[in-house]
Structure 1
Amino acid sequence: MIKSEKPPVDPELKRRIDELIKYKGGGYNPEAVSDIIESALKLMTDVKDSGDVKVIQTAVRELRYAFKLFAPYAHKRKVTIFGSARTQPTKVEYQQAVEFGKKIADAGFMVITGAGGGIMHAGHEGAGLENSFGANIRLPWEQGANPVIQDDKKLITFKYFFTRKLIFIRHSDAIALFPGGFGTMDEGYEALTLMQTGKSQLMPLVLIDRPGGTYWKTWDKHIREHLLRDQLISPDDLNLYQITDDTDQAVKIISRFYRNFVSTRFVKELFVIRLKHAPSASAIEAMNEDFADIIVGPKIATIEATPEERADEDMIDLPRIAFGFNRRDYGRLRQLIDVLNAL
C-alpha cells in the first residue's frame, strides 16, 4: 500500500500558526494543534460544500469538549451501559440495570450511558449522580436527558452518533449490554468489531439477560449458527463477549479483567502489556508455549518500560511483558489476558 507523504509546511504559514498558538498562551500538544490549524485552513480550497465543512466543524467541537470533560476523571475506570430506552421501571431488566449500576459503582467504577430513559436511566439511578456520565444525542423528537443526569456537568449532548460512539468506546473500560433495539445491537457490534480488529483496547463485553431470559442466548445462537458456522468469524472471536443473567457475575467478570491487567500499547514491533504483578519465569515459559500461534518475532518476556513509554511518561513504574503479536488474533489475545489475570 502506498502511503501519501505529508507535504512540507510553508515556512511563513508555520511562523504565523506558531504566533497564533503563542498568542493564545500555548498549551498541550502544540505540534498536533498546529497540524489541525493547517488542515482547517485547507478546507477553504479542498471542501466546497458548506454542509461537509459543518460536519467537520461540529465533530471537532464535540470531541474537544468531551475530551475536556472526561479528563479530570481519567484515573477512574468506567463502564458503559447500553440497552433500550423503552424499558419501563416495572420491567425486570430495568431493575437489573439499577442493581448493576449500584454494584459496579460500589466496585469502584463510574458509569456512562446514553443519558436517556429506560436502561440508561436505570444505570444512572443505580450508580448515583456522582458516579455517572451522560452522552446524550439530539434526535428529531428531542431525546431529553433522564432526571438523574439532566442538570449535571458530566452530561454531553452530541449532534452526531459517530462522535458520541467514539467517546463511548474511547472512555470505556468495560461495556454492559442489556436487551435493546437497533441502537443496542449497533453499539454492541461496533464494540466487537473494534476489539476484533485491534482498533480499540480489549475490554470486558458483558451481555446481561433477565434471569432465565433468552434475549442474548438467542443472539449468541445466531452468531454461532450463521457467522461461526459459515466461517465469517473465527472460533476465538467468541472470547470477546460473555453472557450472564446474574448482575453479581457481570460485576465479577468486569472486575476480574483488571485483577492484574492494566493496559496495552504497541511500541514498534513489540506489543506491550502493563500489569500490576509480573508473571514468574515458569509462567512466561508456559505462555510462550500455549500462545505460540499468535507470536511473531520476539517471544513473551518481561521488560522495562520502553524509551517511547518513558518519553510519554506512560505507566513507566508498572511491570510489563512484551512480545511480537501477529496483530490479528485478538480473541486469542483476550485468552492470554485471562491467563495473566489468573496468575
Structure 2
Amino acid sequence: MIDPARGTSAPPESIKHKRADDPIILAALDGLLAQVGANVDSSDGRYVKDLLVNALKLIPDGRDTGELKLITGAVKELRYAYRVFGQYPEPHKITIFGSARTPKDHPDYALAVEFSRLMGERGWMSITGAGGGIMEAGLAGPGREKSFGVGIRLPFEQTANQVIAGDSKMMVFRYFFTRKLMFISQAEAVALFPGGFGTMDEAFETLTLIQTGKAAMLPIVMLQGKGVTYWNQFDQFIREGLLARGWISEEDLSLYKLCETAEEAAEHIDRFYRIYHSSRYIKDDLIIRLKNRLRDADVADLNKRFAKLIKPDGLQMHIRGPFDVEDDHRDLPRLVFTHTRYAYGKIRQLIDAINACEPA
C-alpha cells in the first residue's frame, strides 16, 4: 500500500547506507560491468546494470529469505536456459505439449512420434517437458540431436526420458513460470496433444498470451490419435461455453486449428511461414517482416479487409524497409501499420491472408 506522506510503496531506507542508485554505487557498477566485458553505454549494458541496481534494492526493501531465494532462482534458471537455446539460434523450434501418462501403445503416442518426425525432417527442433508419454514421443520422432528437454522438479514425476537424458540440451526447472516462459519464448509453433491439468494450463496460457498480444503470433495445432475426440470436445466447449456467452470473439477461434493428421498439422505450420517471417512493435506501429514483397494491389486489399485493425489516426498498411532501430533481418521487406492493439485473433487472420498472396 502506498504511504501518502512519502508517495511510495517502498519502506523507508536507512540513512546509514547509500541508495542503490547513488552515483557512487552506479559508478562502481559501471566498473564491474567493464571488468566482465560489458559496454556500459550500450542498451545491453544498461539492461544488466538495471538488473544489478534492482537486485541491490532488495536489501533496503527488506525482502525475506524465501522471496530472495525465488527471485535468485528464477534469474539463474532463465540465464542458463537462454544460454542453452542461444547455441541453436537458426533452426525453427516447435513446443509439443501433452500428457506424461500416455502409454506407448496409445494412438496419441504414435501420432506424436509421427508428427515430430515430420517436423524434424522439415528442419525443426522439438521442445518438450522431457518426461514420459507425449513428451517422450515428441522427442523420439526427431531424435536426440534435434530435441530440447525442459523438465520440472516434481517429487512424484519420473526423471528425463531416455531420448534426452544426459544431453546438454536437457534443462531442469524448479519453477513452472520460468519453464513455461521458455516453452513459449523459444517456440515458433505449438502442438497440443491430449493431456491433463498441465496440458490444459499450457494450452490456455498459450492462447491467452497470443490473444492479448503478450506473446508473438505463432501457429497452434491440436492433434489426437485415431478414434480420439479430446480436442473436438475442447472445441465444442470453447464455442458453446465461451464464444456463445461473448467471453471470446469470433476471430479468436482462428488462434488454433484441429488437425486430422500429422501431415495436415505440419503443412499448416509451414504455410504460416510461407510469406510471413516475424513481427515486432515500435510503439503502436506493427512491423510484419515478409519473406517476399507483396503486390501493391494486395496491400490495398488488405487495408480494406482488415481496416478494423488500423488505428483511425494512424498509418495505413504499406510496404517499407527496416526502421533505424531494427538490427535484425534488415534485408526483408516490411508491411507496417498502426495497430489498435486489440483483436489479436484478427491479426492471425491477417497473417493467413498475407500467406495467401502471391509474391510481387
- Name the TM-score, length of structure 1 as normaliser: 0.95
Task: Measure the CA separation in 2 of the matches of 1:10 and 1:74.
Answer: 38
Tell me which residue corresponds to 2:250.
235
Tell me which residue corresponds to 1:298.
315
The one of 343, 352, 360 aligned to 1:329: 343
Task: Measure the CA separation in 1 of the matches of 2:157 and 2:222.
Answer: 28
How big is the shift at 1:25? 3.0
The answer (yes or no) to whether the contact 2:140–2:163 under 8 Å persists in 1 is yes
For 2:90, what is the secondary structure of its paired residue? coil
For 1:308, what is the secondary structure of its paired residue? coil
RMSD of aligned C-alpha atoms? 1.4
Task: Measure the CA separation in 2 of the matches of 1:245 and 1:318.
Answer: 34
The one of 235, 242, 263 aligned to 1:248: 263
For 2:190, what is the secondary structure of its paired residue? strand
- Name the TM-score, length of structure 2 as normaliser: 0.91
Task: Measure the CA separation in 2 of the matches of 1:126 and 1:47.
Answer: 50
1:26 aligns with 2:38: yes
1:319 aligns with 2:336: no
The answer (yes or no) to whether the contact 1:228–1:235 under 8 Å persists in 2 is yes
The answer (yes or no) to whether the contact 1:134–1:154 under 8 Å persists in 2 is yes
The one of 118, 132, 144 aligned to 1:129: 144
1:152 aligns with 2:152: no
Task: Measure the CA separation in 2 of the matches of 1:70 and 1:338.
Answer: 28
What CA deviation, in whole Å up to 9, does each residue of 1:37-94 have, x standing for no partner? 1111111121431001100000000000001110121111100000000001111110
Task: Measure the CA separation in 1 of the matches of 2:67 and 2:257.
Answer: 40
What CA deviation, in whole Å up to 9, does each residue of 1:274-294 have, x standing for no partner? 010011000001001111111
Task: Measure the CA separation in 2 of the matches of 1:197 and 1:179.
Answer: 24
Tell me which residue corresponds to 1:38.
53
Tell me which residue corresponds to 1:17.
29
Moved over 4 A (4+): none
Larger radius of gyration between Structure 1 and Structure 2: 2
1:140 aligns with 2:155: yes
What CA deviation, in whole Å up to 9, does each residue of 1:168-194 have, x standing for no partner? 000010000010000000000000000
The answer (yes or no) to whether the contact 2:219–2:272 under 8 Å persists in 1 is yes
Tell me which residue corresponds to 1:339.
353
Letter matched to residue 340 of structure 1: I
For 2:127, what is the secondary structure of its paired residue? strand
The answer (yes or no) to whether the contact 1:47–1:53 under 8 Å persists in 2 is no
1:308 aligns with 2:325: yes
Letter matched to residue 265 of structure 1: R
Alignment of 1:202-241 (within 5 A): 202-241=217-256
User: For structure 1, which runs of at least 5 residues remain unmatched after alignment?
Assistant: none
Letter matched to residue 172 of structure 1: A
What CA deviation, in whole Å up to 9, does each residue of 1:281-309 have, x standing for no partner? 00001001111111112110001111111
Q: Which of the two has greater helix per residue?
A: 1
- State the identity as a percent: 46
Task: Measure the CA separation in 1 of the matches of 2:196 and 2:105.
Answer: 18
For 2:325, what is the secondary structure of its paired residue? helix
Task: Measure the CA separation in 2 of the matches of 1:85 and 1:127.
Answer: 18
The answer (yes or no) to whether the contact 1:212–1:245 under 8 Å persists in 2 is no
For 1:56, what is the secondary structure of its paired residue? helix
The one of 268, 280, 292 aligned to 2:295: 280
The answer (yes or no) to whether the contact 2:284–2:341 under 8 Å persists in 1 is no
Letter matched to residue 113 of structure 2: V
What CA deviation, in whole Å up to 9, does each residue of 1:243-295 have, x standing for no partner? 01211001011111111111111112311000100110000010011111111
Task: Measure the CA separation in 2 of the matches of 1:168 and 1:71.
Answer: 14
User: For structure 2, which runs of at least 5 residues remain unmatched after alignment?
Assistant: 1-7, 9-18
Letter matched to residue 355 of structure 2: N
Task: Measure the CA separation in 1 of the matches of 2:309 and 2:63.
Answer: 47
Letter matched to residue 165 of structure 1: K
What CA deviation, in whole Å up to 9, does each residue of 1:124-164 have, x standing for no partner? 11110110000000002243000010110000000000000
Letter matched to residue 132 of structure 1: S
Tell me which residue corresponds to 2:100.
85
Letter matched to residue 330 of structure 1: Y
Alignment of 1:31-180 (within 5 A): 31-180=46-195
How big is the shift at 1:329? 0.8
Task: Measure the CA separation in 1 of the matches of 2:58 and 2:216.
Answer: 32
The answer (yes or no) to whether the contact 1:95–1:122 under 8 Å persists in 2 is yes
